[in-house]
A and B are shown apart, each in its own frame.
Chain A
Amino acid sequence: MSDTSISDRSTRQDRSRAGRQKPVTLDLPQQSIRSDRNALLAALIDIWQGLSRADVWTALAWESFVSTYRRASLGILWATLSFIMFVFAILTFRVAVSRGELSDEASYVIFGFLFFQLLSQMILSAVNVFVTAASWLKGTLMPLSLFVFNSISTNTIVFVFNIVGALVVLIYFGYSPTVGAWKVLPAFAVTLFNAIWVYLFLGIVMARYRDAAQFLAAIMRMAIFLTPILWIPVPGTLMAYVAYYNPLTYFIDILRVPLLDGTFPIDSWKTVGGITAAGWVLAILTFAWGRRKVIYWIQ
């Protein structure tokens, strides 16, 4: 796709036809507002309506992705290049610390970092998802969740470009996928499903409590050291405890293990299942509570 993909290439002809001015009739969907709807029901409707307007959020997502790189001559290639650069940096670091043989652990580190990057970017953008959407929210009536899906897809696009970078480095280190590598797909789907509740929950809470947002940003800076990416948790050590209480560990695990040895990590899947259920309940309640108030908090 080029960066004009949301526009339309046949405008020139359209303009020449404009002189004729035949009235265009559009058949657009109906819209109505009911401010007295039950908050929980309204929240669920919001999520459904946001999800169903995929044409809007994909367009917005692609637009914000390309606009990040718009004035750079290498353009969106930077999404891949910066990933490769960073992976080489952390691999060098890993070798320097462990004095081990690099190629054994390279794929562990690369996949770990690839997925960690996805998770941490999503969490960081979840924190201000509604704050950054303020200029849209103040002008048009839109389901709030639409901006959640928008941001999730922007991060997914970046992730896809990171995969390309990861593949380049993996091939360099002689990685070959196992037969069970497809098992990463359900893990990825579940991760995206979790991303929705994380956005809804953090988006609302962090718009209201800005100190919490700063706190979380500080935590996320440390997370790269607290998540088993650069190290392997050895049972009984302090780091094993850290990994145990870090929810990111389990998501990284279900994503990384299939790619390394082609199996399902059952225990991590169980934990992720619990987090998913509890998270969604928490998020829907929070979203129902704050959905109508958030516009006052982001002024």
Chain B
Amino acid sequence: MTQIKLENVTLTFPTAAKARRVGEAETANRESRRVAGQIDRDKRNRLSVSALRSVSLELNDGDRFGIIGSNGSGKTTLLRVMGGIYTPQKGRVLTKGRIATMFSMGIGMNAEATGLQNIYLSGLMAGANRRQIKQVVPEIIEFTELGDYVHLPIRTYSQGMAMRLKFACATAFRPDIVLLDEWIGAGDEDFQEKAQVRINELLEKAGIIVIASHNLQLIRSVATKVIWLERGEVRMIGETQTVLDARAAERKRLAEENDGDDYVEEPTLHNLTTVRSAAN
């Protein structure tokens, strides 16, 4: 049985910084309300960023879970808590099942090593032995379409190639739980289609998939349940459509209050890529 269970998870990032003047934490909180976690100050004047506040949820076999929320709302932190990377200061995390993660690109890859060596490394890390890895190598090469590139160091790869490899490695070793953070943006349409197929395959074998994304269209097509985070707190958790509707309504209401200053059209896959390439 595969399961992820979070009970009252509260997580704070300690920082080495001290408040430089009275009220600094308060000012920062007011100014960056929309894009960051709450900054707290302890008795010794040290600052900490509160990333998650009493988050509880339970996911079981077959759940496809989406995490939405603005920048700094705690999406990535929540994923990493599920993956056991961060242990929360308060609350409990219990998971059952083998976890594969796909967070940012550089993580979990060795740039100097060849694609093939990286496949072996990630296989070993996933708990497979060399014989088992050898079995899935053809499958990974086929999926990634890397061909002879697989014998070159991955520092020579384009971002898309590296991402294909990473995605293939993350999903090749039959994980029960897959945690994905904004992964689909860099791939072309072809890759995105293949990735969807792969995810569906994984889900057929029952398991849990969690995706954190700003791409609501992606969330809508993949997730059956959604959590909406705001400043590290659960704003809403439930059926995908219900949560997305509630968020859209809220954004519209806020926009009307602000005379439309802040209102941005709900991002679709198309305009998200445009925004991203403009930012680059």
Interfacial residues, chain A to chain B (CB-CB below 8 A): 4, 6-8, 10-11, 14-15, 17-18, 21, 24-36, 53, 55-56, 59-60, 63, 67, 70, 135-142, 292, 295-296, 299
Determine the chain A residues whose CB is within 8 A of the CB of B132 once the complex forms. Answer: 26-28
CB of B136 closer than 8 Å to a CB of A = yes
5 closest residue pairs by CB, A with B: A139-B107, A18-B138, A139-B108, A35-B93, A141-B84
CB of B87 closer than 8 Å to a CB of A = yes
Interface size on B, as a range, is 35 or more
What's the A-B contact tally at a CB cutoff of 8 Å?
Answer: 141
CB of B135 closer than 8 Å to a CB of A = yes
Beta-carbon contact of B142 and A32 below 8 Å: no
Determine the chain A residues whose CB is within 8 A of the CB of B96 once the complex forms. Answer: 30, 32
Chain A residue, CB-CB nearest to B96: A32
Interfacial residues, chain B to chain A (CB-CB below 8 A): 13-14, 80, 83-88, 91-99, 101, 103, 106-108, 110, 112-114, 116-117, 119-121, 124-130, 132-139, 141-142, 150-151, 173-174
Determine the chain A residues whose CB is within 8 A of the CB of B80 once the complex forms. Answer: 138
28 A-B pairs with CB atoms under 8 Å apart are A4-B114, A4-B117, A6-B113, A6-B117, A7-B114, A8-B116, A10-B134, A15-B141, A15-B142, A21-B142, A26-B174, A28-B132, A31-B99, A32-B95, A34-B93, A35-B84, A35-B94, A53-B124, A55-B130, A56-B125, A59-B124, A63-B121, A135-B108, A136-B107, A136-B108, A140-B83, A140-B85, A142-B125
> What is the interface of chain A mostly: helix, strand, loop, or mixed?
loop
Beta-carbon contact of A6 and B121 below 8 Å: yes
Chain A residue, CB-CB nearest to B106: A135
Among B80, B87, B95, B137, residue most surrounded by chain A Cβ atoms (within 10 Å): B87
Determine the chain A residues whose CB is within 8 A of the CB of B138 once the complex forms. Answer: 14-15, 17-18
Known contacts A35-B93, A59-B120; A24 and B135 CB within 8 A of each other: yes
Distance in angstroms from A22 CB to nearest chain B CB is 10
Determine the chain B residues whose CB is within 8 A of the CB of A26 once the complex forms. Answer: 128, 132, 135-136, 173-174
Chain B residue, CB-CB nearest to A25: B174
